[in-house]
Amino acid sequence: MTHTGFTPDRPLPAPLDAAARGGVTEAHREAVAQMLSVHYAQDRLSLDALDERMEQVYAAGTIEELRALIADLPAFPVTGADGARPLVVGREELVPRRGVAMAFMGGFERKGSWVIPRVFKAVAVMGGGVIDLREARFAAGVTELDILCFMGGCEVLVPPGVRVEVLGTALMGGFGSSAGDAANEDPNQPLLRVSGLAVMGGVDVKVRGVSRKAQRKYERAMLRAGEKKR
């Protein structure tokens, strides 16, 4: 089985849309296998659940049976007919309204598969923090990230395809960004608005691809899919 790799900025094809008709093709099966592999890589499926669904992918005889295998999973980014960038959003009812991370003379880290709250506040005092959004789910529209750093630092890792606005202020420190998709003007796409204050410290917002751990899990899942295919 060939596949393009686990790359959020290059989303999967969408052969299972509502207009799909006719029998199941290898392209249909491969697209579902890739979607299941990504969900496994992002810790939404256990290994046993992945194996069970992969078996069903290659036993399915209809488009409806394939759709059922991903119906209970969060919507995954797909390429539209117009080539528009994908949505990377979570269902509104699953997005917390507020959240907080704090470090005093220590550190904090938020990473892996998680849902970032609509408003998230981070505080680092004589310490540091990492907010890793590469495998996170966003709410549609604006997500507010408010950061306070005093004699400390905070790093924000943003996946490709998310628009970023940085409104922070620095005093004897830095508050900068090298991330964000300025060309993305779709109001339904995620917009991360980063504000706050860095005093004798720094905040750095930058774009990064998926983690190596998630990439390895994705590749392992695709190998299992190839075994099921044979």
Mean pLDDT (whole number) for 188-193: 81
Q: Are residues 37 and 105 in the same domain?
A: no
User: For residue 223, what are the domain limits?
Assistant: 26-86+212-229
Structure tokens at 110: 């938020």
**Per-residue confidence (pLDDT) for residue 114, from 0 to 100:** 85
Confidence of residue 178 (pLDDT cuts 50, 70, 90): confident
**Per-residue confidence (pLDDT) for residue 227, from 0 to 100:** 76
Is the distance from CB of 177 to CB of 228 less than 8 angstroms?
no
Give CA 207 to chain center in angstroms.
12
Q: Are residues 38 and 113 in the same domain?
A: no
Is the distance from CB of 11 to CB of 189 less than 8 angstroms?
no
Q: Are residues 101 and 202 in the same domain?
A: yes
Q: Are residues 117 and 60 in the same domain?
A: no
Q: Are residues 188 and 106 in the same domain?
A: yes
Total domains present in the chain: 2
* Strand, coil or helix: 80: coil
Pairing of strands 107-110, 163-166: unpaired
For residue 76, give Cα distances in angstroms to 37, 97, 119, 203.
Answer: 11, 22, 23, 30
The model's pLDDT over 121-174, given as tens digits with 9 standing for 90+, comes to 999 999 999 999 887 888 878 899 999 999 989 999 988 778 888 888 889 888
Structure tokens at 6: 């686990």
pTM reported for the whole predicted model: 0.56
Q: Is residue 130 part of a domain?
A: yes
Q: Are residues 30 and 71 in the same domain?
A: yes
Q: Is residue 13 part of a domain?
A: no
